[in-house]
Amino acid sequence: MVYKVRIRRQENQKSDSYWQEFEFGGSENSSIAAVLNELNSRSPLTDACGNTAAPIGWECGCMVRKCGACAMLINGLPRLACSTFLNMLKSSTVTLEPLSKFPLVRDLIVDRSFLFENLKKLNLWLESEAYMIEFTHEPRYQSARCLMCGCCLEVCPNFSSKGTFAGAIAAVNGFRILNEEQEISHRNEVSTHYKENYFEGCGKSLACHNICPIGLPVEELIVRSNSVAIWGRQ
């Protein structure tokens, strides 16, 4: 089967965006990342109308769902290109767009610096040695798996890169710190920031349900973080 790959292109933040279509005749088992690599290895790269096209800008690293670089909108949903396969899609047209909640850099590349700045604003670090109790090992392990890809923020109705709301990423990553910190003043500090920058901004839409590309238990971690930071349960 020949797939049509429609890509939203934009040379830089100031230029206009446009759609460009490519054809891909490789295996249906290919991931979107493999498709993009294959397109970019063509020389020259030509679009479906035969016009020469510039290489497609996108970020990737591990190709196996461990680094979170390749998050993009695939047929309208935020996913990782490396773990979304052609045969999982419902049509033979693949639409690729950059994540919309972050400033655009080029083509499918967006600037996600904001995510990392937010964790800093929340003071997400330990001041004490980690308190590691076996009882919460599993949720702490899950918390530490977060790829910081931004998929859960893309679907969130409350998140915008212009506001102060840090989104589900704050609750997911917050849990291990809230759970492990032994210095009460720092835990209180994190809790205060958590309340301001996460809890009070979350509309409880649960749009982040079932969107994490590595299947993190996002709601469980929200519940657990709320429990410590808001309801004061240790």
* Listed ranges 45-53, 93-101, 157-165, 172-180: which one lies at the site for other proteins (CB under 8 A): 172-180
As a residue count, the chain comes to 234
With CB under 8 A, what is the number of residues at the site for other proteins?
49
Contact between 71 and other proteins per CB under 8 A = no
Contact between 15 and other proteins per CB under 8 A = no
Q: How far is the CB of 203 from other proteins (least distance, A)?
A: 27
Contact between 183 and other proteins per CB under 8 A = no
Q: How far is the CB of 52 from other proteins (least distance, A)?
A: 15
Contact between 79 and other proteins per CB under 8 A = no
Nearer to other proteins, 19 or 141 (CB): 141
Long-range contacts of range 71-78, CB-CB < 8 Å, 24 or more positions apart? 71/99, 71/149, 71/150, 71/151, 71/154, 71/213, 72/32, 72/96, 72/97, 72/98, 72/99, 72/108, 73/97, 73/98, 73/99, 73/100, 73/154, 74/32, 77/211, 78/150, 78/151, 78/154, 78/155, 78/211
54 phi and psi angles, rounded to 5 deg: -70, 155
Q: How far is the CB of 140 from other proteins (least distance, A)?
A: 5
Site string for other proteins, 27-56 (x = CB under 8 A): --xxx-xx--xx--x-------------x-
Helix (H) or strand (E) holding 142: helix 137-143
Query: Three-state SS string across 16-50, please?
Result: CCEEEEEEECCCCCCEHHHHHHHHHHCCCCECCCC
Nearer to other proteins, 96 or 124 (CB): 124
Q: Which residues bind other proteins (CB under 8 A)?
A: 29-31, 33-34, 37-38, 41, 55, 59-69, 82-83, 105, 111-113, 116, 119-120, 123-127, 129-130, 132, 134, 137, 140-141, 144-148, 176-177, 180
